[in-house]
Every structure is written in C-alpha cells, then in structure tokens.
Amino acid sequence: MVTANVTNKASLLDTHSGSRNSCYGPLKGKRASRPLRASTVVACRSYTGCTRAATMSEQLKFIVQELNKEPFNKKLNLISFDAFRPDQLLQALNDVFAALDPKLDGLQMKSDVRNEDREQLAVRSLAFLRIVKYRPPPDIAGRGSFRQGLVSGAKEAVLPLLEWLLRGLPELRKRAYLGRFLVRVELPLELGGDVDLQALYAQYEAAMEQFKEAHKMGEALKASGLNTQELRKDISQMEQEREQLTKKIAKLRRKVETQRNKDTLLQLAKNLREEQDRAETLAQQRNSLRDTLNHCEQKIHRLTQQLRDLQHSGTGATPEGLMKKLEEEVRANGYLVRDKLPKEITVCQNAIKDLQKVSAEPAMGQNEINRLKAKAAVIARKKEAAAETLNELRLQVSQLEAQLQEKQSLVAGGEQVLKGDEFKKYVNALRGKSSQYKQQRQELAELRAETGVLARTQEILTHKERDLRQSLEALEEKHGVRGYHRLQGTLESLSGNEAALDETKMATLEDMSTMVTSLNKRIAERKGRLAPAIKDLRPLRKTYQEVSSLRSELNSEESKLNFLQHSLRIHEVQLNFLKANGVLGNPAAADAGSDGQTSLRAKLGHEIAEQEKRGKALRERQKELREKQASLRAQTEQWTHLQALLRAKMAATTASTHWQQGALPPGSAATHGDTNSRDWLVL
C-alpha cells in the first residue's frame, strides 16, 4: 500500500508538470482526474524512472515543509504546490532569494515577478546564484538549458534549486551577506590604462581585504563565546556603582547649595581639574619629546659613527681593494638573500601560524594561568642554573685555551734535547703517567659498566613505577578518589613555588627600600655640594652681564673703527687727487680764490688729524679688549658649565621627587615637579 501511494503521488505530479521522464506513458500530457490505483505500478517502464519519481516526491515534500515554516508561511500542500504555474514557481524562488538577502547591492528583490521582464529576472537570479555558488544538476545539459529553464519557470530547473536553497538556508544567508562585499567588479580591458581608476581599484581591493579580516575577527569572537553571567554581573555591579555615584553627587550638591559662593567654588574646582589635566598632558608631551630627542641623538650618533667608518675605510683604499670589498659584500648579500633570509621568513611564517592558532583558541582561565606561571618559574630557575654552568664551562675553556697557548709557545720555542739523567727522569715520569693512565682507563671502564647497570636499574624502576602508578590509579578509582596522588603532588609543587615567589618578592622589596634610601642620601649630598656653588653664582652672574655688555661694546667699536678706516682711505685718495690736479700746489692762488675762507688744505689736514687721533684711541681700546678677552671667555665658559650643572641637578631632583611620590596621583606629581623646577630656576 505504501508503494502504491508513493507511485500515485509521483504519477500525479508528473501529469501536472508534463514531465517527459514520467514512468506512466498513457497519462503523458493529461491532467489526472482521480488518484491512480496500486496496479498502475506495473506500468513503470523501468526501475530508474520509478526511483526518480520517488525522489521527486521526497523533494516536493521537503520543499513544501520548508515553505510552510518561518519566514515564508506559505500554507501549502503537495497538491497545491504541484499545481503551481511557472510564474508562481518563480515567485516562490524570488521569495527565497529575498529571505536570503533582501538588500543585496544592485539586486533588490522585488515582491512581484509578474511586473518584471523574464530575461531581467533570469539575469538577476543568475547573478545571485553566482554569489551563493550554485551548481546546476548534471542532468540539465549546459548552462544555456538551465538559463532557459529558469526563464520559463520549468520545474526541472526550479525544484532542485529550491531544494538546494532551503537545505542550506543559514549558510547561504551568510554567503549572500559576504557576497554583498566580496564580489569583485571586473574592469573592462579598455579601462586598464587609466591610472586613477587603477588606484581606486587598488583601494577597493584593500577595503575588501580589511572587511575579510574584520569578518574573521567577528566570527572568532562569536565562536569564543562570551559568558553572559559574567556580563550580567558586571552590568549589575556597574548599575550599583552608578547609583552610589548618583547618591554621592546629590549629597555633595545639597552641601554646595547652602554655600553663598557656590558658583565661584564650582568654577574654581573646574579650573583646578582642567589645570591638572593640562599639567598631566604637558608632562606626557614632555616625556614624549624627551624620548624623541633621545631617539634623534641616538640616530645622530649612529650616523656619525657610520660616517667615520666610511671615511676610515675610504682612506688609503685602492681600486683592487674596493673591488674585493664589493665582491665580499655581494657574496654576503647573496648568502642573505638565498639562504638566511628565506629561512628566517619561513620561521616567521611558522611563528605567525602558531600565533594565529593561539589567538583562535579561547581565553585561558586563572587555573591555567597559574599553572603556566609555575612552569615559567621552574624554567627560569633551570635557565639560571644552565647559565651558571655555561659560565663555568666558558671559564674552563678559556683556562684550557691559555694552557694550550703556553704549550704551543713552548713547542714552537724549541726545547733542548734531553740527555743523561734528565732523559731518565723524563722516562720515569712517562712510565708513571702511563700507569696512571691505565689505572684511570680501568676506572673509566668500571664506571661505564656501572653506568649501564644503573641505566638498566633505572629502566626497571621506571617500569615498576609505571605499574605501581597504574595500580594506584585503579585503587583510587575503586575507592572513589581518582587523581588524589596527582593532585597531592601538584599541591606540593604549587606550595613550593608560592614560597619561592614570596621570597623573591621580599628580596625585591628590600632592594627597592635600600635603593630609595641610597637615592635620598645622594640627593642630600648633592644639595650640600651645590650650596657653595649657588652662592658663587650671584657675582658670576654680574660678571657675565658685564662681559656681555663689553662684548657688545667691542663689536660696536670695531664696526666704527672699520668705518673710520674706510673713510680715511677715501680722504687720502681725494687728497692725492687734489695734489695731482695742482689745487694744493699754489697756496697763494688758493688763498686768493677762497676770498678769506679757510683753505682746503687746512680743512683736510685738520680732519685727517682728528681721524688719526680717533683711530689711535680705537686701536688702544681694541688692544685692551683683546687682552681681557681670554679672562672674559673663561668666565663665560664657567657660567655656561654652571648653568648645565644646575639643569642636571634640577632634572635629578624632579626624578627623585617622582620616585618618592609614586603613590600620588599623576597630576599632583607633575605639579610638584613643576614647582621644584621653578624654584631651582628662581635660585
């Protein structure tokens, strides 16, 4: 009866769809008016056709069941769905597309396909299927027949597609969402030479890669799974803190409202907070600028050293030497490119893979962290012991190398040939050493044999320990205390590690206290040393001001002297010119032509005499200043050194103040450091 019912439904579906693959030849192309009898099974032409009909029936059942669920709610049955026209099938397919992604860019799913052209609908559907990576069934020959079936709404093309979409609905919804951002837009070949378009396409690809990384991180976070209980606890705790803060603010507001000048106090508090924030920001900027300055100084030092090395290597170099050096550099670079760097890249890639695996794993709990800390402490102790052993071995190697060099120097120096009694003594010493060598060799053989026995004993004991451990675990499991022995060993190791950690903390605290005490003593000593220097600073400041004024006066006098010297040369040239023209050669004619005025010779002579006196005075002044220049320069250098010393002292005092007040808020520490700096500058 079950076979008959399945066959009846399959034949009914074949008659409605007009399928050519129906196994019921007499009913081809006709509408069945009533259910077929069980005897119709005999009309099956082949076993393959019947199997295909049963498969189609199961396919229809699945499609109808899924379309009746959320979010479709079609309320269909097998008969009504089998009676769907092609446009109704396409509408159902379009509804499934819309459920997968209703907001696909450029492919907005319409609510009704009857108002849309079949070709456009097919193009839109094929584009969406390309995004979700659908492959047509093999019985549909070629892409053209599938496209034609999709345009006409044939069941052979639509039903397998509906089944595939409904079976993988969650995964396909995710794939459609990703396809919205990851489907590449292909550029035409004629636009490949456009530079701006290529740059924009590169930005488009970079944005696509960023989206991939962000999506991977999001999926990893979803997979890790946040604890909702902890989040709820945190939220409740934050709400309690908010209530407490609200109550505290209301209480303070009630207190402030009774004050007369509450607005002034609030403004002052606001200004104080802003200044504290500003002081903290300035301190951070100062630290960043100081770090930048140190970095620049290191860079300058490195570049200077490179310049010196290049200059040193360039002195006395020959073309042959330069060629050899370049060949060596080429060989070294070739080794780096061919051998070393690929290995390092491989190591880095493996490390990156390991880190990615670690980052993909869920976060460790506190128990695992404590266990890893204990392992790290054990490894650190082993490392220290290995380092000590390595240092001892290096010391032994250096001693042995020194002895080897001494022996080699003795051999190279050429000892004299032993004769007589010396040779006999040497032979006796060799015999003693040979007997000692044989004895030690025998002891070594015994030790090796004993080592083999001990190794075998250790192996036997290891097997016994393993058997005993298994029996102990069996007994523990039998008595209901499984893992007791292992837990006891773990607790003992943890207690030992905790004691060692406490000892390390105590030693660190003692070292820090001694360091703070020594720093305070050094600061007090430096203050006492700088007190007399500060007293001597005041007269030196006056001297520095006098030296600066004298230097400026000297510069002005030198400029005046240069001007007068040039003027004197000009007047001498004019005088020679007048003498050459005969104006100064006939005094009587000059007196007659002047009509009672002073002669030109007397004027020029008087002016020359005044300029010579002035130049002589300036030269004496210049000589005096040059004699004092050495002492003034020494005083200036002393003043500069003293300023640098005071700046260093100011920085040390600020650092010590920060160290002593490490528990204070950042704003107060910065304010205190700025106050000390201003005090030192005033001093």
Structure pTM?
Answer: 0.31
Cβ distance 225 to 362 under 8 Å? yes
Helix or strand holding residue 388 (H, E): helix 366-413
What mean pLDDT comes out for the span 258-275? 87
What mean pLDDT comes out for the span 215-225? 73
Burial 38-63 (b: 16+ CB within 10 A, else e): eebbeebeeeebbebbeebbebbeeb
User: Largest alpha-carbon pair distance within the chain?
Assistant: 168
Cβ distance 52 to 21 under 8 Å? yes
Judged against a pLDDT cut of 80, whether residue 395 lies above it is answered with yes
Judged against a pLDDT cut of 80, whether residue 18 lies above it is answered with no
Cβ distance 676 to 650 under 8 Å? yes
Return the residue matching tokens 């006066």. Answer: 553
Supply angle C-alpha 113, 116, 119, rounded to 5: 105
Chain mean pLDDT for the chain: 76
Judged against a pLDDT cut of 50, whether residue 413 lies above it is answered with yes
Q: Please write the tens of the pLDDT for every residue from 127-171.
A: 888 888 888 877 765 556 788 888 888 888 888 888 888 888 888
The count of C-alpha atoms lying within 13 angstroms of the C-alpha of 270, restricted to the half-sphere facing its C-beta, is: 6
**Positive/negative CA dihedral, 309, 314, 316, 319:** positive
The CATH H-level (homologous superfamily) assignment of domain 2-187 is Intraflagellar transport protein 81, N-terminal domain (1.10.418.70)
Whole-angstrom Cα distance, residue 520 to residue 403? 49
Return the residue matching tokens 């292909």. Answer: 186
What pLDDT is attached to residue 21?
Answer: 39
Q: Please write the tens of the pLDDT for every residue from 290-321.
A: 999 999 999 999 999 988 887 877 777 778 87
Judged against a pLDDT cut of 80, whether residue 491 lies above it is answered with no
Domain residue spans of the chain:
2-187, 330-361, 368-408+421-484, 536-586+599-682
**Positive/negative CA dihedral, 214, 215, 220, 221:** positive
First to last CA, the chain: 113
- DSSP, collapsed to helix, strand or coil, labels residue 227 as coil
Cβ distance 14 to 7 under 8 Å? no
